[in-house]
Structure 1
């Protein structure tokens, strides 16, 4: 089958595919591929329980691969064509994406999406894309926000810094409480804004928050008394009712608080305190882990606090070297 130059556009003159019953229309793919693609998206959300944004990202990545293959192979992508793919075809896609500046992390996600799609095709007996197993994932530079200095992190989460701002007191208290949770308990911004009122105890009524992390996994995270007090101050000032099962943090009109609001708060603080652009909400979580480790915190305990499935993720996240990781492993393994 003829190969053509790399491109993300469908081949010229290719007839558009019919709109499938599930609403998926891929003009660069045969109808049976479009139907399988639609089933795969449903599978990701319903069976794999991925978030809508993750499903959207995976779907976009696989559409890009299929669009490239249509141009590369010279016609609409069929199930038979997918089964005949070679490692050279897959590498051609990766090379084409790299040529337009796509980074390794995005390429790795594209491969992950195609492999997931291929598993569904194989499960349903539609096609076996063996070439994907022979292609190595691209190398990814492990870049993370730099941790803040302890003093800078404390200044950012100091409520007094917000005194005198031309915003309502309850809004200032809300922002202070969110930032306190990011640094004081190491939460992701999505986890902090996903808290329900009942997930956070009042001061003196408990010392853990119940967090829903990635994959809807729930975990309990210790919380400092000053952080609980910051949350209590916000609750006392908030003009909206905060039912136990509703969101803890709300926006100006009483709806769920947008992450963008907290990002803008950090932007203002960066300017006021002369901090670098790396001082983001996620950098507070990174700082939480790094500062605990600097003070002698146990790596496995930090892994649990962060909600990491793998210790190696925590190793990268905290920037520790391999020797320190081996020390933790030797100390913790039951057959040491």
Structure 2
């Protein structure tokens, strides 16, 4: 928590009050925005003090494009942060600048000309066949029918954690030879995901149980309400521990589906199933992993 001048702290507190009262931003996101802004204000005031410049206390009016460009360079070259970390800080400042404009505290946006650092997207974790088998064996040995259906469904549909937790019984339609799940994904975007015979097989017993159509498909065993994303993460981590798999998350199950499908289906169809807005995201599943690339260069080794 770097120290700020009274003026800098006042600017930070004004933004904090706005974030907490006028937006629906989550508490974690608010905390990140404020942390990024505090770090920037502290850096700016330190720069001014060290250089004996006229400006020694931060105010919204002191936010300029050259200052932001210098800060980007500081994060990238002095602190040597990753492009993702630098960009997070810049995006937070862009949000702050947009708020200042909306409040009439700035006449133009000084952050607009400041570009983000290009990122090289890394291929997501690739769950190997043996790892998937170990996970499924762990769920079969230690899990309930609900948990077995949950893990299997994620592996065969690529659902996001929030999407699978939000499923209701009425969102699933099963037929003799086909099935579909209705999902509202990111930005409330609707899509339908086809269910293969494996997914239909684990869902049918759940739907055969008595229950209201509006009831959650995967209720919490403690409360009966919909399973939370945190609860889902706990379940995946529990069975991963039984299977002796490290750092496995619900999103890794989505990635497993993506890799499996990318080897069998056109990318535009996979993008439709997974709810990707851009094929660039879907392309990650045909991008070589570190192990793939290592195997390729080993082919020309002299030993």
Q: What TM-score comes out, normalization by structure 2 length?
A: 0.75
- Which residue number in structure 2 is paired with residue 179 of structure 1? 151
- Which residue number in structure 1 is paired with residue 71 of structure 2? 90
- Which residue number in structure 1 is paired with residue 161 of structure 2? 189
SS at match of 2:36: helix
1:61 aligns with 2:41: no
- Which residue number in structure 1 is paired with residue 89 of structure 2? 110
- Which residue number in structure 2 is paired with residue 30 of structure 1? 10
Q: 2:73, 2:280 → 1: CA distance?
A: 31
In the superposition, relative to structure 1, how do residues 318 and 125 fare at CA in structure 2: closer, same or farther (>3 Å)?
farther
Which one of 244, 251, 256 corresponds to residue 226 of structure 2?
A: 256
1:222 aligns with 2:194: yes
Q: 1:97, 1:252 → 2: CA distance?
A: 50
In the superposition, relative to structure 1, how do residues 267 and 34 fare at CA in structure 2: closer, same or farther (>3 Å)?
closer
Alpha-carbon offset, residue 95 of structure 1 = 4.9
Query: Does the 8 A contact of 1:29 with 1:70 survive in 2?
Result: no
Q: 1:298, 1:71 → 2: CA distance?
A: 53
Which one of 292, 304, 311 corresponds to residue 279 of structure 2?
A: 311
Alpha-carbon offset, residue 51 of structure 1 = 5.4
- Which residue number in structure 2 is paired with residue 77 of structure 1? 58
Gaps of 5+ in 1: 1-7, 18-27, 166-170, 322-336
Alpha-carbon offset, residue 288 of structure 1 = 1.0
Range 118-127 or range 69-78, more displaced: 69-78
- Structural mapping, 1:146-295, within 5 Å: 146-150=125-129, 152-153=131-132, 156-157=135-136, 162-165=139-142, 172-202=144-174, 204=176, 207-234=179-206, 243-253=212-222, 254-273=224-243, 275=245, 277=246, 279-295=248-264
SS at match of 1:132: coil
Q: Deviations over 1:45-88 (max 9, x none)?
A: 3xxxx656445543443343334434444554212112475245
Range 112-121 or range 307-316, more displaced: 112-121
In the superposition, relative to structure 1, how do residues 196 and 59 fare at CA in structure 2: closer, same or farther (>3 Å)?
farther
In the superposition, relative to structure 1, how do residues 231 and 37 fare at CA in structure 2: closer, same or farther (>3 Å)?
same
Q: 1:236, 1:52 → 2: CA distance?
A: 39
Alpha-carbon offset, residue 211 of structure 1 = 1.5
Alpha-carbon offset, residue 257 of structure 1 = 1.9
Query: Does the 8 A contact of 2:124 with 2:284 survive in 1?
Result: no
Range 149-158 or range 280-289, more displaced: 149-158
Alpha-carbon offset, residue 187 of structure 1 = 0.8
Q: 2:106, 2:252 → 1: CA distance?
A: 43
SS at match of 2:167: coil
Gaps of 5+ in 2: 50-55, 290-303
SS at match of 2:75: helix
Q: Deviations over 1:172-210 (max 9, x none)?
A: 111112212211111112211121222123454961111
Report the aligned-residue RMSD. 3.5
Query: Does the 8 A contact of 2:72 with 2:86 survive in 1?
Result: no
In the superposition, relative to structure 1, how do residues 317 and 133 fare at CA in structure 2: closer, same or farther (>3 Å)?
farther
Q: What TM-score comes out, normalization by structure 1 length?
A: 0.68
Q: How many residues align?
A: 282
Q: 1:150, 1:156 → 2: CA distance?
A: 10
- Which residue number in structure 2 is paired with residue 5 of structure 1? none
